[in-house]
Structure 1
């Protein structure tokens, strides 16, 4: 009789252990795998990587926008091209560039970009010499070449050539220089830095010529 009770007790304990093991298996099946939990954490980011998925998306958009801005360049318009240089954005100066022995007098006109952004400049500037006999417009001479991207703070030059007064007479007195940047209508009046007079001509053509932008070298 005692043997039968021990047998029933042993069977009951074994059944209980089997039931507990099954419940543990069921509980384990209801929990996410450690690898799944790690992947979810990586996807959502967390505070160290921008917070929520939505914030992470904004960060991605910002990075793409930054790339576009970089490609467009400083001072570029929405199309990615630098705007043209304007009179108001340029500092214009003139200096005597005559070298002894040259057949003509030369003045170098410098255009410095002070607009705060890069700009494009090309072609010819308008140049007029003020004289006591009236204004003389310079004639264009040379190939205008390709457009230049003038970096902010940088200078580009062009030349103005004029005949030397070697006639022995008083000639035509030069009183000033007027420069109009390419594709602009606003002019800047400057003091004339070259020789003081021009020879008297018969008026059959302008004795003054202007080279294209960049013809007198590009400054740093």
Structure 2
């Protein structure tokens, strides 16, 4: 009986030790996958929310800025960027005199010109402002280094009198406030008017000379 009791006790101890060993192995096995899962998810999180996402947004911003510079609105032609000259363009037999004004683009870039420039004639009787001739036309893009011409028409002084003496041609590019005063190349005098409106007309861009060239 004593031997049998000892045997049962030995078996009970062996069984308890075996169960303890199994539990330890299970716990150890569960810890490893948990650690591995946490380690693999960290790079994914960093890739989606970290530098990868920021770099992509930064790239789009840079491209958008470049696109805006390339495809955005072209700036207007500034007075200081234009070489402004004028020449007599009257054709024999015309009932009106014509002066062709040239804008040459020296801006180092393309620039935009609205339909009409401002034109005033300095005379010994004061300034005469030219009126626009006809309906407005579209804005013109003037390429760098290229020229465009427009006409200024005025009545001939066939009255036999001294008329109004022209002293200068004052030109203001479209949408600009700075003017340039140059020599008037047309007839020296204009007929005296009754004050019923300006007899001097300014045409839109491309209305005289060689157009755009």
Which structure 2 residues correspond to residues 48-127 of structure 1 after superposition, within 5 A? 77=69, 80-127=72-119
Structure 2 contact 115–140 (Cα < 8 Å) conserved: no
1:166 aligns with 2:153: no
Q: Which has the larger radius of gyration?
A: 2
What corresponds to 1:132 in structure 2? 124
1:218 aligns with 2:211: yes
Which structure 2 residues correspond to residues 176-187 of structure 1 after superposition, within 5 A? 176-187=168-179
Using the size of structure 2 for normalisation, the TM-score is 0.67
Which structure 2 residues correspond to residues 7-46 of structure 1 after superposition, within 5 A? none
Is there any run of 5+ residues in structure 1 with no aligned partner, and where?
A: 1-56
Q: What SS does the corresponding residue of 1:149 show, helix, strand or coil?
A: strand
1:93-112 CA deviation, whole Å, 9 max, x = no partner? 10000011001000000111
Q: Count the aligned residue pairs.
A: 156
1:58-96 CA deviation, whole Å, 9 max, x = no partner? xxx7xx95xx86x77xxxx46522111111111111000
Q: What SS does the corresponding residue of 1:88 show, helix, strand or coil?
A: helix
> 128, 145, 167: which is aligned to 1:175?
167
Residue 177 of structure 1 deviates from its aligned partner by: 0.4
Residue 136 of structure 1 deviates from its aligned partner by: 0.3
Q: What SS does the corresponding residue of 1:156 show, helix, strand or coil?
A: strand
Structure 1 contact 144–213 (Cα < 8 Å) conserved: no
Q: Distance in 2 between matches of 1:168 and 1:108?
A: 26
RMSD: 2.5
Using the size of structure 1 for normalisation, the TM-score is 0.65
Is there any run of 5+ residues in structure 2 with no aligned partner, and where?
A: 1-54
Residue 189 of structure 1 deviates from its aligned partner by: 0.3
What corresponds to 2:200 in structure 1? 208
Where does structure 1 differ by over 3 angstroms across 4 or more consecutive aligned residues? none
